[in-house]
Amino acid sequence: MDLLTGQDGLAIVSGATLAFSLLTYILLDGTDLGVGIWLGLTRQAADRHRLALSILPIWDANETWLVLLLGGMLALFPTAYSAFFTAMLVPSLMMAIALVLRGAAVEFRQVSRRPWLCDLAIFAGSLSAAFFQGILFGSVIQGIPGGAAPPETLLWCTPFTLFSGGLVVVLYLLMGAGWLIWRMAGELSNFYRRRAAWLGVLTLLLGAVFLAWMIRLNAHNAARWQDTPVWVTFLGLLAILTWIFYRVLHHHLTVLPLMTLLLAVAFVFMAIALTLFPLLLPPHVTLFNSAAPAATQGFVLVGYGLVIPFTLFYNTYVFSVFRGKIHRQSVSVKN
């Protein structure tokens, strides 16, 4: 109970707020990036056009959560922000460039005389952004020895972080397939049902390796998973979500596979966050020793409390407006 009061309690609320922003970004823009990767793997120009149209109205709103995350981290945990982005300068810049490339290509594709070039840019930007986001996510879990490191140490380029990058690419492909099952009509929707079936198995296998690797990274993580009820409960709930996903994969309510996937991703994300708590950057940087002064945290959290409901409302409104199926005959394609 003492953790929920005073300066430590405020730090926990600040950390939970940033975790919510990160999770929401992963769920929303991760799906978009998955669609962008699928676009590059699609041969027919008409089908690529449909995929691009499915994310055109929503990609920019989804990026808002990344802005909230980075701005909030700078204000709420400046020590962790400085240490992390100093050590992760290269993958952070690569991710930013990839996101800009993807966004520009999505917007200008509608007026381009060579939409295939924009398709290539969407694919390259989405794939690169997904891979470097995975590297950054793995780097947070891996941590920074000593609490600080210059960019040339290449802490982001380790077997664990590179594996994390590949896992996130596969995960985003699965989430993108779930989105396209919902948004596409006809045979294309069935095509992504089949892809989602084997991608689900691949994601589970890679995810199992990732979690086992994460637990063995340090004594802190291993201690969190020592109790049998903890990992039995985790595996049981994950097995239930997996069963539900494959049960609803061919359901006539095509939004159900996507919703199940997003729920499973949120569940695993929370398990990873609880494994790391209270560490922000293992082994030394924690929520408590890197938090901003209480007055700063209070001010920023009030701003978050005002912005987050409006952002959620806007995301929900856009999804509700553009929730219809995209039919091949309903769109025109430039030659």
Per-residue model confidence (pLDDT) at position 1 = 45
Work out the angle at residue 64's Cα, subtended by the Cα atoms of residues 60 and 70, and round it to the nearest 5 degrees: 135
Measure the CA–CA gap between 21 and 162, rounded to whole angstroms. Answer: 24
The string of pLDDT tens digits covering residues 41-55 is 999 998 999 999 999
- Alpha carbon dihedral 96, 99, 105, 106, in 10-degree steps, equals -150
Q: How far is CA 85 from the centre of its chain?
A: 18
Give me the mean pLDDT over the 140-162 stretch.
85
What confidence score (pLDDT) does residue 2 get? Answer: 52
Q: Report the pLDDT value the prediction gives residue 321, as an integer from 0 to 100.
A: 84
| Confidence class for position 335, pLDDT limits 50, 70, 90 | very low
Contacts of 96 (CB under 8 A, 6+ apart): none
Q: What is the mean pLDDT of the chain?
A: 91
Distances (CA, A) of 220 to 73, 272, 279, 297, 320: 23, 12, 9, 27, 43
Judge whether residue 333 has pLDDT over 80. Answer: no
* pLDDT for the residue numbered 294: 93
Higher-confidence residue of 9 and 175: namely 175
Residue 147 has pLDDT above 70, yes or no: no
Query: What's the DSSP call for residue 225?
Result: T
| Candidate from 4-13, 161-170, 300-309 with smallest mean pLDDT | 4-13
Confidence check: pLDDT of 69 > 90: yes
pLDDT higher than 90, residue 34: yes
pLDDT score for 212 = 94
Q: What is the pLDDT of residue 331?
A: 57
Per-residue pLDDT tens digits for 253-310: 889 999 999 999 999 999 999 999 999 998 889 999 999 999 999 999 999 999 999 9
What percentage of the chain carries pLDDT values higher than 70? 95
Per-residue confidence (pLDDT) for residue 326, from 0 to 100: 83
The phi and psi torsions of 184 (rounded to 5 degrees) equal -85, 155
Averaged pLDDT, 76-89? 92
Burial class for 226, CB neighbours closer than 10 Å (0-12, 13-18, 19+): exposed
Q: What is the rounded CA–CA span in Å between residue 137 and residue 174?
A: 18
Interatomic CA distance for residues 217 and 261, integer angstroms: 27
Three-state DSSP class for residue 158: coil
Question: What tokens does 43 get?
Answer: 């041969």
Element (H, E) at 126: helix 115-142
Average pLDDT over residues 236-246: 94
Residue holding tokens 């398990």? 271
| Residue 66 CA from chain centroid, whole number | 10
